[in-house]
Structure 1
Amino acid sequence: MELILKNGLPHQDKGVQAVANAFSVNSFSKNKMYFANPTLELDKEALLHNIKEVQKTNGIHPEYTALNGIQDYLNLDIKMETGTGKTYVHTATIFELHKQYKINKFIIVVPTLAIKAGTRQFIQDPYTKKHFKDVCGYGTEIELQVLDAAKKKKGKQFFPSAVREFVSGSSQNQNKIYVLLVNMALLTNSKMLKDQYDSGVEDFYKPVEGISATKPFLLIDEPHRFSKAQKTFEFITNEIQPQCIIRFGATYPTVTIGKGTAKKTIKDYHNLLYDLNACESFNQNLIKGIAKEHFEPLSKKEDKVKIMAIQSKTSAKFNLIQKDGPTKSFELKKGDSLSIISEEFEGIVIDAIGSNFIELSNGQTKSQGEEFSTDIYSSSYQEQMLKLAIDRHFETERINFDRKFKIKTLALFFIDDIYSYRQDEKSGKETYLKNTFEKLLLDKINQVIPTLNKDTEKEYLEFLEASKKDVTACHAGYFSQDNSSSDEEIANEINEILFEKKKLLSIKKEDGNYNTRRFLFSKWTLKEGWDNPNVFTITKLRSSGSESSKIQEVGRGLRLPVDELGNRISNEEFKLNYIIDFTEADFADRLVKEINDELPKGFVITEEKLNEVAKKLKQDPDDLFFDLFSKKYIDRKYNINIENQIQFFEEYPDFAMGLNGNKVVDRNTKKDKKIKIRPAVYNELKTLWEAINQKYVLFYDKIEEDDYLKEELVKLFENNVFTDVIITSKRQVIQTTDDNQMMANEDSGVQYTISRPLPYSEFLKRINKQTNIPIQLIHEVLISYAEKHSIDNDKINEFSAANFVSRFNDWKINKLQGRFSYSKSNIKLNGTKLSFPNGQPKEEITQGVIGTKFIEGTPVEKYLYDTYAYDSPLEKDNIQAVIDEVVVYGKIPRSSISIPTITGQSYSPDFMYVVKKADGSKTLNIVVETKDVENQSTLRKTEEVKIKCAKEFFKQLTIDGYTVEFHEQLNNKKIKQIVDEVLM
C-alpha cells in the first residue's frame, strides 16, 4: 500500500499560506553569492503590516497579536495540534517559499533522533517527492542532506559531506531545493560544526560559517523543546544566524512577564500566524476524539507503599501508607517477599537491590522515593487493564474490518519494564506480561470467532484464524535497549515499527498472507516523532509522571486513520481509547483543563454572557454592567480593557471565557500563608477552647438480651453481603461545546468478575479491624448464618467484608441512637491546634485550616485572628456579623476537635463564641456547626447523626461542670438569631 497524500486540505493550506503571505516580492533582494538565499530586507513596518493582515485573516486573538515584533531576524510561528499534519505543512511551506521567493536553502532542526528519522523518511519517500513535484505542481525536488554524528577516526578529519553538499548547492538551480536536517544534540553537544578542517567549501573551513553564509531559512519542529533561553537557540541565532526562523508545533515554551501582581506566565509566541489549537482540531474532526477509561481500585483500602531508602545495596526501607490506619515501616532484604508489607503483593519477591533501586520477581524495577498503590501492582489489576484494552481493540477492529476498504487497527501499550515482555537471557525471568497478554488475546479470539457471520464477515474470520494460529506474530515491541541487540527477529520488529509504517498498516503481506501484527509494546520510547494513524487504543500500564503534557501523551494516537489503500478517512468521527490506572482517574479533567488553558482570554463580553454571570451572582444585569464599567474593566461597547484584565478576571472569574473557572486563582490563597492568633482574644476563649478539646470516650449501653447482637449481625449478613469481586471501569469521552471549550462526559464502562478470595482468618480480621466486633463473635455469627445459607468460597472476599462493614455502620446509625453515652477520659490535654502543651497560645496558624478565601480589611478586635478567612458564604456572613453581646469569637480550625461518633468518624464543629447579656449579668459559651444548605432534609444521614452525637457530647460536657450551648446553623438562619435564643 501507499500512504496517499492529499493537497488542498484547508487546515493545512492555511498554515502554508500564512507563512508565504507574511512576505511580498519586495521583501527580498538578490544575493551576490550563488550559493546563498535572496536577502530578506528587515523592513519592520512592511513586514509587521503583512503579519497583521495574515493574523486578521486567520482570526489570531489580540492576546497573541500583542506579542508581535521583529529582531535581528524574523520569527514566525505556526501552531498546529498533534496529528494534524505539521510535517506535511512545513515541507509544503518549503516548496511554496521557493516557488514565490526563490528561497532554496533551508535548515530543519528537530529535538530527537526519532523525529529526525521520521522527517527524513517522509521527505525522501518517492511518493512524497512525486506528490509535491507533480500533484501539487511545484515541478521541483528537495535534495535532503542529513547531518549525522561523525564517528571518531584516527588521522585526518574530513569536512562533513552533508554540510559540503548543502552549502555548495547553487541557488540558481531552480530544479532543486537544498535542505539540511539536523538534530538538537549536534548543535549543542558536538564540535562538528565549530571545528576547523583542513579542507573546506567555498573558502569556509568551519562548517557553521559556511552554513551561515547561505543566509538560510531555519525551521524548528516541536518548539517547546527549544526555549529561547537554551544553548541550542543561542547557537542558532548567534552562530547559524538565519534570516528567518519558522517554528511549527503543537506546544510552545513559556515565559514569565510582568512584575509583582502583574506577573504572569504566557506562551512564548512571536508573530503567531496560524493557531490550529486542540479545540479547533477536535471540533473540525481533524483528529480522533478521546475516550479515557480506568478501573476503580480493586480494594476499598487505597493503601500505598513508598520506598524510603536503599541501604548499601543490602536492604530497602518501605513505608506502608494506609488510608484508614497508621503508617507502618518495614525493612526487607533480597529474597524477601513484598507480601510482608501487604498481602496484595503475594508472590512478588525482591530479586535484587541496587544503589537506588530494587528489582522485583515480576520484572518491575522500583526506584528510591517511588510511591505505588498496592492495587495497581497486583497482577490481577494489570491483567484486567490488558483485558479491557483487548476488548476495546476488538470492538473497533470488527467495525473497521466491516468496510469496503478496511482499516488495519493498531493498539499501543506503555509498560513498566522491558523484561516483563522481552526475555532476559541472564536472569531467565518469566515474561509474565507477554504471557498474560497472549493468553488473554487467545481467549478473546476464541470468544469472537463463534460470533462472526461466515458469509458477511468471511475475511475477518480468516484474519482471526491467522491470528490464532500464531499469537506471537500479532504483537511486537520496541525499547531503547533494542538498539544494541543483535537478535534478527527483534531487528525486524523494530524496523517494522519505526520505519515500515506502510507494512504495519497493511492487512496482507506481499506473499498474500495476513499481516496480523497490530499490538505494540514500548516503555515510552515511542513518543514525539513517532506516530501511526491507525492507533485506536493506548494503554498505559505505567505512569508517565504527573507533570507531562496530557495532549502529548495521547498524541501518538490522534492522527486520523487510513484505509488499506492509504486513503485518509476524514468524513467520520473516530475515538482513541485511552486506558490508564486509577491514580490518574482525573486524566480527562486535566486534559480538558490543559486544552482550555491554551485558549486566549476573551476580550469582548457578549450580552448573553453578561446575563449568564448576573444570574449566577444574583444581580441585575444592568447593575453588573455599571459595576464593570465604573471599575474600568470594560468600556461602553463591552470591550475588556486589556490593562485591567488581570484584576478583572481575578474579581470575576466567570468571565474568563475559553478557560475553566480554576484558571484564575486568588493570588492571596497561598498554601503556606500564616495567620496570626490574637493572644488577648485567645485568653478570653481559653477556658471554652480547652473544655471542648478534652478527650471523651464513647460507650454503648449494654444490650439487654445476650443473643440480641448476634441475631442482628446474622440479619446483616443475610442482607446481600456476600458478593463477587467486580472491577468496574469509568469511561469519559472528551468533547467540544458550542463555544469551543472542551469538556469530559461520562460514557458506558465495563464490569469484570474476578476470583479474588480472602483467607477466612483474614476475612474475620478485616471486619474486626473496621468494626471492633470481636473475631470470636463474627465467627459464631457466620456459623449461624451457614446453617441456613451456603457460602461460596470466592465470595469470602474484600468486597463482602466491605459490604458487611457498610451494613454494620448503617445499623449503628439506625439502631444505636439513644443507646450510647460519653465519659471523660484521664488523658491529659497536651497541646492543641491553637495552644502549646503549657497552655500558652501559638503565634500563628496555617491559613488553610480555617478557610481558603479571604476578606479584605482588618477584623474587629473581638475576632480570634488578624485575618478573615472562610470557606462558605454562610461562614463569611458569620465572621462579618457585628453582635454587641458577643465578647469574643473565632473559627475553629478544621478537624482540631475530635468528638467520637457512632458513625465511626470523629466530629469537629465550626465556630466558638463567648457571649454576655447586655447588663453583664450572665456569660455563656456557644459552639456552632454551620451547614450551607437550605433545610434539614438536605443534610446527609451521616451528617445528621454526627450532629446528634455532638449534642449528646455537649450535654455531657455540661453535666461534667462546663456549660456549653451547641447549635446547628442552616443558611436560612443568622448567627444573631442563635445568640438571641441562647440569651433568652
Structure 2
Amino acid sequence: MELILKNGLPHQAKGVNAISNVFKPNSFLSNKLFYTNPLLELDKDVLLEQIKEVQTSNKIHPEYTGLNTIGNYLNLDIKMETGTGKTYVYTSTIFELHKRYKINKFIVVVPTLPIKAGAKQFLSDPYVKKHFKDVCGYNAEIDLQVLESVKKKKGKQYFPSVVREFVSGSSQNTNKIQVMLTNMALLTNSKILTKNDYDSGVEDFFKPVDAIKATLPFVIIDEPHRFSKQQKAFNFITEQIQPQCIIRYGATFPSKTIGRGKNKKTLKDYQNLVYDLNACDSFNQNLIKGIAKEHFEPLSKREDKVKIMNIESKTSVKFNYIKRDSSNKSFLLSKGDSLSIVSEQFEGITIDAIGNNYFELSNGQTKYQGEEFSTDIYSSSYQEQMLKLAIERHFETERINFDRRFKIKTLALFFIDDIYSYRKKDNSDKEAYLKNTFERLLLEKIDEVLPTLSKTNDKEYIKYLEASKQDISNCHAGYFSQDNSDSDDDIAKEVKEILHDKKSLLSIRTNEGEINPRRFLFSKWTLKEGWDNPNVFTITKLRSSGSENSKLQEVGRGLRLPVDENGNRISNEEFKLNYIIDFTEADFAEKLVKEINDDLPKGFVITEEKLNEVAKKLSIEPDDLFIELLTKKYIDRKYNIVIENTGKFFEEYPDFSIGLNDNKVTDRNKKTDRKIKIRASAYSELKELWEAINQKYVIYYDNLEKEEYLKNQLVAIFEDDVFTDVVLSSKRQIVATTDDNIMGAYESGGVQYTIDKTIPYSDFLKRINRQTNLPIKRINEALISFSENNTDTEIKINEFSVANFVSKFSDWKIQNLEGHFTYKKSSLSLKSTALTYANGSPKKEITQGRIGTKFVEGTPTNKYLYDAYTYDSPLEKDNILADISEVIVYGKIPRSSLAIPTITGQSYSPDFMYVVKKVNGDKTLNIIVETKDVDNQSTLRAIEDAKINCAKEFFNQLTIDGYTVKFEEQIRNKKIKQIIDEVLVNK
C-alpha cells in the first residue's frame, strides 16, 4: 500500500499560510552570494503589523497577541496538537516559502533521535516527494542532509560533508531546496560544528558553524517544549548559528514566569503565535481520535496491588504494596514467609520456593520479577487482567474496522516495565511470562471469536484470524532501546518494521499477497515522541510513565486519524482511542480534560454570532443581552470579557463557556465511580428490614461433626478418580490425495505426554486445607484409609490431584449438604454496613458501582432508596422503573453487602428489597428478590442454585427467629409486579 497524503486540508493550510503571510515580496532583499538565503529586512514595526494581521485572521486570543515581540531575529510560533500533522505542515511551509520568497536554506532541529528518524523518513520518502511535486504543484525537491555524530579517527580530519553539501548548494537553483536535519545533542555535546582544525573547508570557512551561519538560514524547531530559551541548545542556535528566522512547531511550548510578588504569574512562552490549533479545537473538530480511558476494576473494589520489584537469587523477594493514591510500602520476604505480611488478603498463602527470578506460592502459583497482581484477584496477575481487557477492546474495534468497504488495519500498543518479561534473556531460566501470557490470551480470544463468524459472510476476517492463530508469535513485535545494539536477525526485522516500515505495519497483506497479522506492539516508552502510527486504536500502559508527564503526550501515539488499506486518511467520522491503565491512574480522564482546558486562554472575545446564538437560546433580544452583560461589567463595549469577572460570568451564563465537548474524552469507569445519594426518608422505611437481614448468622452442619461420617465421605471422594494422570494428546494429520485425486487431511497416530507436577505430601495436605477448610488431620486420616483399601491404586501427590479433590469436594457439598444444615444467629453486634454507620444512622451516599454499572436518566420515584436509577441487567432496569402501587419503599441491595454463609463456602448477597402493603392495608410485608436474567431455572449453574437454596433456608430461619421475610426468585420472563402480587395473595 501507499500512504496517500492529502493536500489543502483546512487546518493544515491555515498553518502554512500563517507563516507565509507574515512576509511580503518586498520583505526580502536579493541574496548577494549564491549560497545564502535572501536577506530578511528586520523592520520590526512593519513585521509586527503583518503578524497582527495574520493573528486577527486566525483569531489569536489577546492574551497571546500581547506577547508579540521581535529581537535580533524573527521568531514565529505555530501551535498544533499531536496528531494533526505538524511535520506535514512545516514541510509544506518550506516549499511555500521557497516558492514565494526563494528561501532555500532551512535547518530542522529536533530534540531526540527517534523524532529525527521519523523526520528523516518523511522528508526523504519517495511518496512524499511525489506528493509535493505532483499533487501540490511545487516544481522543486528537498535535498536532505542529515547531520550525524562521527567517531574520532586518526589522521586527517575531514570537514563534515553534510555541512559542505548544505552550504555549497546554490540558492539560485529553483529546483532544489537545501534542508539540514539535526538533533539537540549535536548542538550541545558535540564539537563537530565548532572545531576549526579541519584539513579543508567550504567557501573559505573552516569552522562548520560559521559556514552554516553565513547561509542566513531559517531554522525550524520541532517540539519546542524541549528547547526552552534558557536551554543550551536554543542558545547555540541563536548565538552561534544566528538564523534570520526561527519557526517553532509544537503541541506544547515552554513556560515562563513574569512579574513579581502579587503580580507574578506563569504563562506559556509564546512569541508571535500566528496559529493556535489547540487540543480542544482538535478534538472538537474531529481532527484526531477521541479517547476512551479504562482501568481494571476489581470486583471487591479494593484499590491496591502488589508489585514484585526484585528477586534475590533463591533467598528473598522484594515487594511493593501500592495503593490508588500512589503511596507504597516495601517488604522483603523469604521462603516460608506468609504473604499476609504484605496484605491481610493473602492470609494462608506462603512462599514455598524461590528461584533465580521467580518464586512459587503455597497455592501452586508461580510469580515472576516485574509482575503485578491485585490483592483480591491474586490467582491472576494484574497485568493479565489488563492484557485481557486490551485484547477485548482491540477485537471490538478490529471487528468494526474490518467490516468496511475499504478495511482499516487495527493496531494496539503496550508499554511494559521489563524487557525480559517480553523477551527471554540469553542463557536465563526466566520465562518471558508477559509474552507467554499475551499469546495465550490472544489465542483464547481468537478461539472465542472464530465460531461466532461461521454463520456470517466475513470470509476475509475469518482468514485473517485463522492466519493469526496459525502463527500467533507473528501477531506481535517489540522495540526497546537495547535493540539498537542487538544482532539477532529476527529482532532486527521487528525493529525495522516498527520504526521504518509504516506501510508494512498498516497493510493487511504483504507485497506477496500473504496475510500480515502483526498488529500488537510492545515497548518500554521507547516509542514516544517522534514515532507515530495512525492506526493505533488501543494503548495499554502496563508500566508507569511518571505522574508529571503530559497526559496528551502519553496518548499522543494513538491520536492520529487512521488510514484504510489503500492509504486514504479517514476524516469523515469519529474514532476513539482505547487507553487502558491501572487503578492508580483512575483519574486520568479528569486530568487530561483539565490539561486541555487549562491550556486555553483564560478569557476571550464574544463574537456577534455567539451572542445571537445564546440570546436565541435564552429567548431574549441580542441587543438586550449585550446591554445586560455590559451593565453587569461582564464585557466591555468591544465585546471583550472582563478578565476579573470571568468566573462569575461563566457561572451565570454557562452557554458562553468554551472548552472540550463532553463526549471527546470519556471514562468507561467514570459512571461507576460517581456518588449516589441515599434518601434518609426512604431508608427509615427500610431500616427494620435492612438491620434484620444484616444480622450475623453461622451455618451448622448436621453430620460433619461426626468424625467417622466425615472420614468415610472423604475416602469416597478420594476413590472418585482423584489420582489420575494429566495427559496431553497431539493430533497429527497427513495431507495427501486419495485414489480419486481428492486432497484431504487424514489423521495419523499422534503422541501423548503425561504431565506430573509432584509436590511434597505436607504441601498436598496444606493446599487442600487452605482451599476447603477441612482439618489437615481429617484429610490425612482419610487418605491413609483410602491407601489401605486401594492397594492397586497409585497415589499421585501432585498439583492436579489437589485440584481434582477440591473440585470434587465442592460438588459433594452441593449434592450432600443441602437439607443437612441450619443457621443460628450469632451474638455479634451489628456493625457498619454498606448503607449505615456503626451507630445505625444512614450514610449520605454510596458509590454507583455498588448498585449498578449502567445509568438511567430521570428522577426516581420517592419510593426508591436512592436519588438516581442504576442497574446491571435489563431485568433489573425493568424492576427499578416499575411503578407498583402496593410498594411502600424499595431499593437495590448494594453488591456483596450481605454475607449470608452458604454450603459452597462462598457468601451470598441477593439483589432487591421491598416493603409492601398487605392486603388489609394496615401492615407491611418484607420481600427480598434474587434477580437472574436467564430464561429458566435450569440455566442456573449448580453452585448458583445451591446459594439460592441456602438463601431460602436463611430467610426461613430469619422468619422463625421473629422477623418475617419472603425470599423470591425472578427469572427473565417474570415481572416484579407478578411476584409481589403472588406473595400478597399467598400470604
Give the TM-score of the pair, scaled to structure 1.
0.63
User: Within 1, Cα distance between the matches of 2:238 and 2:155?
Assistant: 33
User: Within 2, Cα distance between the matches of 1:191 and 1:200?
Assistant: 15
* 1:426 maps to amino acid: N
User: Within 1, Cα distance between the matches of 2:452 and 2:811?
Assistant: 43
Q: In the alignment, which residue of structure 2 is the partner of 1:91?
A: 91
Q: In the alignment, which residue of structure 2 is the partner of 1:549?
A: 550
* 1:9 maps to amino acid: L
Shift of 1:132: 0.7
* 1:86 maps to amino acid: K
Aligned residues of 1:475 and 1:517 also touching (Cα < 8 A) = yes
User: Within 1, Cα distance between the matches of 2:399 and 2:581?
Assistant: 23
817 and 142 in structure 1: CA distance in 2 versus 1, 3 angstrom threshold: closer
Aligned residues of 1:217 and 1:244 also touching (Cα < 8 A) = yes
Question: How do 1:625-664 and structure 2 match up within 5 A?
Answer: 629=633, 634-635=635-636, 639-641=640-642, 644=644, 657-658=657-658
Shift of 1:269: 1.0
Deviation per CA, 1:892-939: give whole Å up to 9, x if none.
xxxxxxxxxxx9xxxxxxxxxxxxxxxxxxxxxxxxxxxxxxxxxxxx
Q: In the alignment, which residue of structure 1 is the partner of 2:534?
A: 533
Shift of 1:49: 1.2
549 and 362 in structure 1: CA distance in 2 versus 1, 3 angstrom threshold: farther
Aligned residues of 1:413 and 1:541 also touching (Cα < 8 A) = yes
* 1:186 maps to amino acid: L
Q: In the alignment, which residue of structure 2 is the partner of 1:174?
A: 174
Aligned residues of 2:223 and 2:253 also touching (Cα < 8 A) = yes
User: Within 2, Cα distance between the matches of 1:52 and 1:812?
Assistant: 61
Q: In the alignment, which residue of structure 2 is the partner of 1:471?
A: 472
Aligned residues of 1:506 and 1:515 also touching (Cα < 8 A) = yes
Which has the larger displacement, 438-447 or 809-818?
809-818
Shift of 1:20: 0.3
Matched residue SS, 2:832: helix
Q: In the alignment, which residue of structure 1 is the partner of 2:248?
A: 247
- Is the counterpart of residue 287 in structure 1 residue 292 in structure 2? no
User: Within 2, Cα distance between the matches of 1:575 and 1:401?
Assistant: 16
Shift of 1:422: 0.4
* 1:189 maps to amino acid: N
Q: In the alignment, which residue of structure 2 is the partner of 1:581?
A: 582
User: Within 1, Cα distance between the matches of 2:374 and 2:166?
Assistant: 54
Aligned residues of 1:302 and 1:375 also touching (Cα < 8 A) = no
- Is the counterpart of residue 809 in structure 1 residue 809 in structure 2? no
User: Within 2, Cα distance between the matches of 1:41 and 1:437?
Assistant: 61
Which has the larger displacement, 238-247 or 419-428?
419-428
* 1:472 maps to amino acid: S
809 and 178 in structure 1: CA distance in 2 versus 1, 3 angstrom threshold: same
Question: How do 1:772-811 and structure 2 match up within 5 A?
Answer: 790=814, 809-810=832-833
Query: Identity of counterpart residues, as a percentage?
Result: 67
User: Within 2, Cα distance between the matches of 1:267 and 1:24?
Assistant: 28
User: Within 1, Cα distance between the matches of 2:30 and 2:73?
Assistant: 18
Matched residue SS, 1:96: helix
Which has the larger displacement, 306-315 or 389-398?
306-315
Matched residue SS, 2:564: coil
Aligned residues of 1:338 and 1:350 also touching (Cα < 8 A) = no
* 1:428 maps to amino acid: D
User: Within 2, Cα distance between the matches of 1:811 and 1:214?
Assistant: 74
Aligned residues of 1:602 and 1:658 also touching (Cα < 8 A) = no
Q: In the alignment, which residue of structure 1 is the partner of 2:47?
A: 47
User: Within 2, Cα distance between the matches of 1:551 and 1:627?
Assistant: 40
Deviation per CA, 1:286-305: give whole Å up to 9, x if none.
11111111111354543466
Matched residue SS, 2:381: helix
Shift of 1:374: 4.9
Question: How do 1:11-90 and structure 2 match up within 5 A?
Answer: 11-90=11-90
Aligned residues of 1:108 and 1:219 also touching (Cα < 8 A) = yes
Shift of 1:260: 1.7
User: Within 1, Cα distance between the matches of 2:328 and 2:479?
Assistant: 39
User: Within 2, Cα distance between the matches of 1:181 and 1:73?
Assistant: 20
RMSD, aligned α-carbons: 4.5
* 1:128 maps to amino acid: V
Aligned residues of 2:561 and 2:570 also touching (Cα < 8 A) = yes
152 and 14 in structure 1: CA distance in 2 versus 1, 3 angstrom threshold: same
Aligned residues: 685
Question: How do 1:155-304 and structure 2 match up within 5 A?
Answer: 155-196=155-196, 197-303=198-304
Matched residue SS, 1:809: coil
Matched residue SS, 2:567: coil
User: Within 1, Cα distance between the matches of 2:412 and 2:324?
Assistant: 35
Matched residue SS, 1:427: coil
Aligned residues of 1:348 and 1:362 also touching (Cα < 8 A) = no
Shift of 1:650: 13
293 and 347 in structure 1: CA distance in 2 versus 1, 3 angstrom threshold: farther
Q: In the alignment, which residue of structure 1 is the partner of 2:446?
A: 445
Q: In the alignment, which residue of structure 1 is the partner of 2:144?
A: 144
Deviation per CA, 1:581-610: give whole Å up to 9, x if none.
111111111111111111112234687999
Aligned residues of 1:442 and 1:468 also touching (Cα < 8 A) = yes
User: Within 2, Cα distance between the matches of 1:791 and 1:348?
Assistant: 34
Shift of 1:195: 0.8
816 and 306 in structure 1: CA distance in 2 versus 1, 3 angstrom threshold: same
Deviation per CA, 1:639-697: give whole Å up to 9, x if none.
3345x579989999989944699xxxxxxxxxxxxxxxxxxxxxxxxxxxxxxxxxxxx
576 and 807 in structure 1: CA distance in 2 versus 1, 3 angstrom threshold: farther
User: Within 2, Cα distance between the matches of 1:477 and 1:94?
Assistant: 35
- Is the counterpart of residue 594 in structure 1 residue 578 in structure 2? no
Matched residue SS, 2:389: helix
User: Within 1, Cα distance between the matches of 2:309 and 2:430?
Assistant: 26
Matched residue SS, 1:286: coil
* 2:258 maps to amino acid: I
Question: How do 1:429-508 and structure 2 match up within 5 A?
Answer: 429-453=430-454, 456-508=457-509
User: Within 2, Cα distance between the matches of 1:598 and 1:399?
Assistant: 34
Shift of 1:398: 1.5
Q: In the alignment, which residue of structure 1 is the partner of 2:153?
A: 153
User: Within 1, Cα distance between the matches of 2:581 and 2:109?
Assistant: 33
285 and 660 in structure 1: CA distance in 2 versus 1, 3 angstrom threshold: closer
User: Within 2, Cα distance between the matches of 1:710 and 1:105?
Assistant: 80
Which has the larger displacement, 431-440 or 276-285?
276-285
35 and 476 in structure 1: CA distance in 2 versus 1, 3 angstrom threshold: same
* 1:473 maps to amino acid: N
364 and 41 in structure 1: CA distance in 2 versus 1, 3 angstrom threshold: farther
Aligned residues of 1:337 and 1:350 also touching (Cα < 8 A) = no
377 and 80 in structure 1: CA distance in 2 versus 1, 3 angstrom threshold: farther
Shift of 1:710: 12
Aligned residues of 2:83 and 2:288 also touching (Cα < 8 A) = yes
Aligned residues of 2:695 and 2:830 also touching (Cα < 8 A) = no
User: Within 1, Cα distance between the matches of 2:280 and 2:646?
Assistant: 24
Matched residue SS, 1:602: coil
Shift of 1:580: 0.9
User: Within 2, Cα distance between the matches of 1:648 and 1:203?
Assistant: 66
Q: In the alignment, which residue of structure 2 is the partner of 1:898?
A: none
435 and 131 in structure 1: CA distance in 2 versus 1, 3 angstrom threshold: same
Aligned residues of 2:559 and 2:577 also touching (Cα < 8 A) = yes
305 and 386 in structure 1: CA distance in 2 versus 1, 3 angstrom threshold: closer
